[in-house]
Amino acid sequence: MEAVLALAIGILVASGLWLLFRPRTFQVVLGLSLLSYAVNLFILASGRLRTDAPPIVDGKAVDAALYVDPVPQALVLTAIVISFATTALLLVVLLAARGLTGTDHVDGEDEEP
């Protein structure tokens, strides 16, 4: 399970970086989204990979290995909301920049044919 998750995170990071360095703005937005998904998976994996385990430890003295850490789950939930808002803002700024420059290239210039 850990190897599959590590492979998925690596593929998301590689794809996100490849798209981030593309010249078109929509590809840059997709690259940033893939990178944020990879970071969210990494943060979630830092809280231990367990299935069917409760996230909250009740007040009794118990083995902490039987529970899942709730802090990474809360961080990922917050990161999803923030990344959605940032992506929406980025799309609005990119649409305004395209309206002003007439092109959707990151540097504002079209390629020479």
Of 52, 51, 17, nearest to 35 by C-alpha is 17
Q: What domains can you pick out in the chain, each with its CATH number?
A: 2-52+67-101 (1.10.287)
Check: pTM over 0.85? Answer yes or no.
no
50-97 pLDDT, tens digit each: 667 666 666 666 666 666 777 888 889 999 999 999 999 999 998 898
Give the pLDDT band (50/70/90) at residue 105.
confident
Residue 110 has what pLDDT? Answer: 66
Contact in structure between 87 and 34 (CB atoms under 8 Å) = no
Of 22, 9, 15, 23, nearest to 103 by C-alpha is 23
Residue 19 has what pLDDT? Answer: 94
